Each structure stands twice: as structure tokens, then as C-alpha cells.
Structure 1
Amino acid sequence: MGLLAFCTATLPVGAMWLHLPLPALRSLAFLAVVFGSQTSIYAIRERGRFWHSVPSLWVMGSTIAAILIVSGMATTGLAMASLPILTVFAVLGAAIAFAAIVEVAKIPIFHAVGMS
């Protein structure tokens, strides 16, 4: 639900605050899905705090690859409308902030549903 909220909230920001045209909004939505899903992996991969265990090299490598590939596609306009680099970094930063919020909220939620 958190990822859906993050991705959904990204679109009005792009449309109303950044005044992006539809092709750029599609690129923004793609970034939100990829960055949001990558950061949520770290927030929800274990029941305790995410820093209690180190992710595998495969997880870290795939995250770095996804961020670099998608950022490159978005900034160069490869297979999508191009976005300014600052917009790409802003979406990545927002995704990291989203993961921090999920990290804070997950422990009480897990306790409430009996997953602790």
C-alpha cells in the first residue's frame, strides 16, 4: 500500500507542481515505480530494522544497476521522454524518504497483524 501511495503521489506533483507534459509524466511514473520498488525492498526485506542484516551482493548490485540504467534512460530520453537530472534525483530522494517512512511504520504494523 505504501508503494502505491508513493507512486500515486508522484503524479500530482509532476502534473501540478512541475507542470510536466503527459510524456514526461509517464517517465516520472516509471521512475517512481522503479525507485520506489527498489527502496521498499530494503525496508521490508526483514521484520526488524533494515540495518540488522546486510543485503546480499546480488540485491545491492541489482539495485545499483536498476538505478543507473533507469536514471540514464530518463535523462537521455532513451525509450521515454527525457527528464532533467535534478528531477531524477528528486524522485530518488523521495523514494528513499518513502522507504524511511515504511521502515518506521512497519514494526507497529507487523505487531498489529501478528508478524513479530
Structure 2
Amino acid sequence: MTVNIYDIANDLEKGIRDTEQFTNLKQAYADVNADPEAKTKFDRFRNVQVTIQEKQMTGQEIDQETIDLAQEVAEEVQSNKAIVNLMDKEQAMSVIINDLNRIIMTPLQELYDIKED
């Protein structure tokens, strides 16, 4: 019997969309977007994250100005309940994604006899 791994992946994608965690994340994101102040703060936070990731990926040093900006923006978003809620929902979704990744990688770990730390 031949397995179409892409059909399984598409079923998994649909299953993820049906989880309570994804539904909660989607609602939390809608809540942030519905609040102009929260949306502005969140967009600023995301832009700083992207800047830092780009610098890390290209091997650039993260300068003090960027670090200070990141700390300032982090404090701003932590004071906004809608954004904090969104981040909590992102964390719950991240747990699922990490669990799925661990499950998906099991055949390779077993093949190479890789021990988890």
C-alpha cells in the first residue's frame, strides 16, 4: 500500500485548524486587530522581532539601540491585555506544533538512534 504523505499532511493541516487552540488563537488575533491601540503596539512588536531575526540570520551584531527598542516595545505589549492574551494563545499553539514536530521526527530519530537530551 502506497501512502501519499502529502494527503496526510493536508489532513493534519485541517486538523490543526479544528483545534481549540487554533480557534482561540484566531479569536485573540481578531481581538488585537479590532483594537487600534493594541494593533499598533503589536505591529511595532512584530517589526522589531523581524529586525532582530534578520540581523541574527545574516550574522549582524544586534546593536544597543535595537536591544533598547526591543525592551521598550516588550514592556508596551506586556501592558496590553489583548496582546498578552494573544501571546498566551500563541504559546498554546506552539506546544502543539512542537509536539507534532517531535512525533514527525520520530522515524528519523529512531533510524539514526538519536537520543533526546
The TM-score range, normalised by the shorter chain, is 0.3 to 0.5
- Higher helix proportion: 2
Pick the structure with greater CA Rg.
2
TM-score w.r.t. the length of structure 2 is 0.40
